[in-house]
Structure 1
Amino acid sequence: MGNQVNLEEEAVGRRGREVQRDGEKRGLEGPKVLREECPSSRDLLNSLRQVEKMLAVHEASYQQGLRSLRKKISALHNSTMAIFRIGKNASCPKPEPPGHGRRLGRVFGIGHEVHFLCKPTYELIGPRTRVCLESLKWSGQQPMCRRVNGTSNSLASFSPAAPSSSSSSTSSFPVSAALSASSSTPASSSASSPFTLSSSSPTSSSPSSSVRPSHCTHFLGSTRCTCDVGFTISGRDNNICTDIDECLLFPLGQPGRLCVHQCVNTPGSFHCFCPAGYDLARDGRSCTDIDECENRMHNCTVDQVCVNTYGSFQCVTVECPQMKNATYIKTSSMRCERNPCMLGDKACTQAPNSISFHFLSVVSNMSAPRVLFRVSAARVLGDTLRFGLAGGRGRGHFSVQRSGRQTGTLLLVTPIKGPATLEAEVEMSELERNALLGRYLTKVTLFVSLHEF
């Protein structure tokens, strides 16, 4: 019985020890699994350092891209400002005219065109028009003029056996460039060729008339026809060039007129004429007055003064006035001075101390108001100086204003249509305590021309 109890206790003890060992074993395995799922602080620190390095690399790349973008924006800004600074002052080099030809156009700025023409019996090889590009270079190649021969086999004389009648495109040069134009007589011969640069059969007896043949190019069944400067395409098959009447397109009295005075149309061009007394200016459109007095083209006598006017001249005689109570002496060619008055002669003292003469030339319908003349006192003896309009023909066109302490101004207040001759008398009075000390008269004669130039 006792042995049985001891055996049972020993068995219980063994089972307890086994259970304890199993628990310890499981307890040891539990923390091991937990350590594998939760990284240590060192691992976390390493991960954070790797993320920090990655962010630093991305930041450096971003900064590099930002600097590159700033450089590109700065370069674009500098180039734009350079173009803006150049502006309209930039121009291409002056193109040379081709041999046996001429160049039309005097403005070589960006976007402007020049045109090229050849003398009669010569044909133009190359572009008829060149444009000044933003690179300050001319578009296309420099053209040349080549003599036209009736039997020549050059490209300009080839023509197809059966010209195409398909739709054609037309082009013409700007009218503003039509200062002059010349065209050569086209030569035409039959030849087999895939393309041609030729002129259609002429429809007028003379190439210098108002109707000329067009310059057509036939290529792969299509036709392109153009005209010389100053002509426009016409005709059923675009084979005719008709003269442009530039004088009709730009009449006198309108903005953009071609000629200041008279315009005469010519085939492919126009000519400006000026009235007598004017020369045609260098621009070929304006009129410049001829100074007959300076060029000694007048018929004034020795006692007369030649006054040049716009388009003509005037011979004037300056004489001192005859007054009852005062006498005058001519002290210069344009000035008369009063002799001393007798003591107590109030009528004499009321007469002008001096009279000056001035002659002005103006154009017709000159804009107003406008300053014509100024009168000034060299010195003032009294305490008051007054200016006024004493008289003269056409007083309604003039006015006198004070423009300074010692200066008065003669103004034109309304336009005057010429031809006309007007006079204005400007009076300057000097006073001391309202007592007249002296009067000084300036007579201004205005010669208004017939024309507005």
Structure 2
Amino acid sequence: MMSLEVLFRMRIVLVAMSMLWLHQAAFTSAQECPSTHDLLNSLRQVEKMLAVHEASYQQGIRSLKKKMSALHNSTMAIFKTGATCPKLEPPPHGRRLGRVFAVGHEVHFLCKPGFELIGPRTRVCLDSLRWSGQQPMCRRLNETGNSLASFSPAAPSSSFPGSAALSAPSSSSSLSSSAPSLSSLSPTSSYPSSSVRPSHCTHFLGSTRCTCDVGFTISGRDNNICTDIDECLLFPLGQPGRLCIHQCVNTPGSFHCFCPPGYNLARDGRSCTDMDECENLMHNCTEEQACVNTYGGFQCVSVECPLMKNATYIKTSPMRCERNPCMLGDKSCTQAPSSISFHFLSIVSNMSAPRVLFRVSAARVLGDTLRFGLAGGRGRGHFSVQRSGRQTGTLLLVTPIKGPATVEAEVEMSELERNSLLGRYLTKVTLFVSPYEF
């Protein structure tokens, strides 16, 4: 690392000496000696240029050290033991999320629509090289493990095979012997549909009271039928008080919420939480690409330095390009951006505005003025840039964006001294908008 720094400083010194030599040669060729004022101005410009490049270089070195440290830590964690747990197969009618079976890694399980997960949603590879919990299974939502044993009066229930009759003794019986008796349910009997069940009725001292299980409502001429309540229809999506944030499926006596691909059902059973495919190594990005997690998915991005006629750039970090030194007197080169940074953000669809998205700051200021603004015509209908401090500008989302969409904006920071441009710094922001509002 130190050898690179020494070479970089030597290159800067050689550039500075070359500029001074060219400056002196220009005056010598004209048979004129430069004045002290001109020499001082030249030295100040060289000093400012060296300071700018040194600051950019130091920032690149710090970023590179962080990346190397993170890479080293992740590599050591992965290859600490070199052992893995046995490969887990997805349950029938379900999916397994996760392809790394090393110690400490997790795998997740989901079921197809129409099925519910029985068992743990997540299993972890333990130090003993065994998976935590039991293997889950996917069961159809209309499958129930309980029989339809219930109560109903003897006379009205005769038209419903399989109903349990509740009979009461005559009025001459003693009070102690007036407790109702329950007949057994025939094992071959069944109701036409799981959404219709017999009611629970008690007949006592000439009066009858019928009730239903949770999720059913009483119906029928004699209140002897319980009909399933469609909670999804009662609380539709897009309305206040909705039951599910994405998809609601009615089940006998209840309901079940489903999430789109790329999301997990939250612990409340109604909300959806985004899966981080990048962190969980569930992406297919190459080594040359960077994985950007989005709401409901991921994006593989690659950063390339721009090709310009008046300037050349070199990549100093995975998300930053620096301009090479310009020749003396090349104004078109000096007016090109000194550095170009790339940033990728993810938001949900129709996110409320105004909303702060990104901040741009100067590490050190050489001039007396900093100006912030949007460069080019990209994103002017959705974004705005405001100064939030002496050395900081803020990128704002001013109008909601309906997804799915990919929107770009370029934030420019200009450094000036006495209205003379010292440097331009460009930040390219790419916004990935999810098709969902969560």
Q: Normalising by the residue count of structure 1, what TM-score does the alignment of the two structures yield?
A: 0.58
Task: Tell me how far apart the structure 2 counterparts of residues 197 and 303 of structure 1 sit (CA, whole Å).
Answer: 76
Which residue is 1:310 aligned to?
295
172, 176, 188: which one pairs with 2:165?
188
Which residue is 1:442 aligned to?
427
Which residue is 1:120 aligned to?
146
**Structure 2 letter corresponding to 1:318:** V
Task: Tell me how far apart the structure 2 counterparts of residues 318 and 223 of structure 1 sit (CA, whole Å).
Answer: 76
Which residue is 1:416 aligned to?
401
Task: Tell me how far apart the structure 2 counterparts of residues 380 and 314 of structure 1 sit (CA, whole Å).
Answer: 35
State the aligned residue count: 282
**Structure 2 letter corresponding to 1:408:** G
Written as runs of structure 1 = structure 2, the 5 A alignment for 1:269-418 is 269-391=254-376, 393-418=378-403
199, 213, 219: which one pairs with 1:214?
199
225, 247, 255: which one pairs with 1:262?
247
Percent of aligned pairs sharing the same letter: 86
Written as runs of structure 1 = structure 2, the 5 A alignment for 1:137-216 is 187-188=164-165, 192=169, 194-196=178-180, 205-206=190-191, 209-216=194-201
How far did residue 281 of structure 1 move?
1.2
Q: What stretches of structure 1 of length at least 5 have no aligned partner?
A: 1-117, 123-147, 149-155, 165-184
Does the CA-based 8 Å contact 1:195-1:218 persist in structure 2? no
How far did residue 280 of structure 1 move?
1.1
Q: Deviations over 1:361-407 (max 9, x none)?
A: 00000000000000011111111111000035332100000111111
Which residue is 2:115 aligned to?
none
Q: Deviations over 1:140-189 (max 9, x none)?
A: xxxxxxxx7xxxxxxx98x887789xxxxxxxxxxxxxxxxxxxx86436
**Structure 1 letter corresponding to 2:191:** S
Does the CA-based 8 Å contact 1:160-1:195 persist in structure 2? no
Q: Normalising by the residue count of structure 2, what TM-score does the alignment of the two structures yield?
A: 0.60
RMSD: 2.7
Task: Tell me how far apart the structure 2 counterparts of residues 223 and 197 of structure 1 sit (CA, whole Å).
Answer: 14
**Structure 2 letter corresponding to 1:444:** V
How far did residue 191 of structure 1 move?
6.3
Q: What stretches of structure 2 of length at least 5 have no aligned partner?
A: 1-143, 170-176
The alpha-carbon distance between structure 1 residues 438 and 375, as it changes in their structure 2 partners (threshold 3 A), is same
Q: Deviations over 1:295-351 (max 9, x none)?
A: 111111111111111111111110000111111110000000111111111000000
Does the CA-based 8 Å contact 2:350-2:437 persist in structure 1? yes
Task: Tell me how far apart the structure 1 counterparts of residues 408 and 167 of structure 2 sit (CA, whole Å).
Answer: 78
Task: Tell me how far apart the structure 2 counterparts of residues 309 and 160 of structure 1 sit (CA, whole Å).
Answer: 58
Q: Secondary structure at the match of 2:393?
A: strand
Provide runs of 4+ in structure 1 moved above 4 Å: 159-164, 197-202
The alpha-carbon distance between structure 1 residues 276 and 402, as it changes in their structure 2 partners (threshold 3 A), is same
Task: Tell me how far apart the structure 2 counterparts of residues 302 and 338 of structure 1 sit (CA, whole Å).
Answer: 25
Task: Tell me how far apart the structure 1 counterparts of residues 183 and 349 of structure 2 sit (CA, whole Å).
Answer: 50
**Structure 2 letter corresponding to 1:314:** Q
Q: Secondary structure at the match of 1:426?
A: strand
Does the CA-based 8 Å contact 1:336-1:355 persist in structure 2? yes
Which structure has the bigger radius of gyration? 1
The alpha-carbon distance between structure 1 residues 232 and 327, as it changes in their structure 2 partners (threshold 3 A), is same
Q: Secondary structure at the match of 1:248?
A: helix
Task: Tell me how far apart the structure 2 counterparts of residues 212 and 346 of structure 1 sit (CA, whole Å).
Answer: 85
239, 253, 262: which one pairs with 2:224?
239
**Structure 2 letter corresponding to 1:196:** P
Written as runs of structure 1 = structure 2, the 5 A alignment for 1:10-25 is none
Does the CA-based 8 Å contact 2:154-2:166 persist in structure 1? no
Task: Tell me how far apart the structure 2 counterparts of residues 375 and 186 of structure 1 sit (CA, whole Å).
Answer: 72
Does the CA-based 8 Å contact 1:199-1:215 persist in structure 2? no
How far did residue 205 of structure 1 move?
2.8
**Structure 2 letter corresponding to 1:120:** N
The alpha-carbon distance between structure 1 residues 221 and 443, as it changes in their structure 2 partners (threshold 3 A), is same
Structure possessing the higher relative contact order (Cα contacts under 8 Å, 6 or more residues apart): 2
Task: Tell me how far apart the structure 1 counterparts of residues 324 and 355 of structure 2 sit (CA, whole Å).
Answer: 36
198, 212, 229: which one pairs with 2:214?
229
Q: Secondary structure at the match of 1:252?
A: coil
The alpha-carbon distance between structure 1 residues 340 and 161, as it changes in their structure 2 partners (threshold 3 A), is closer
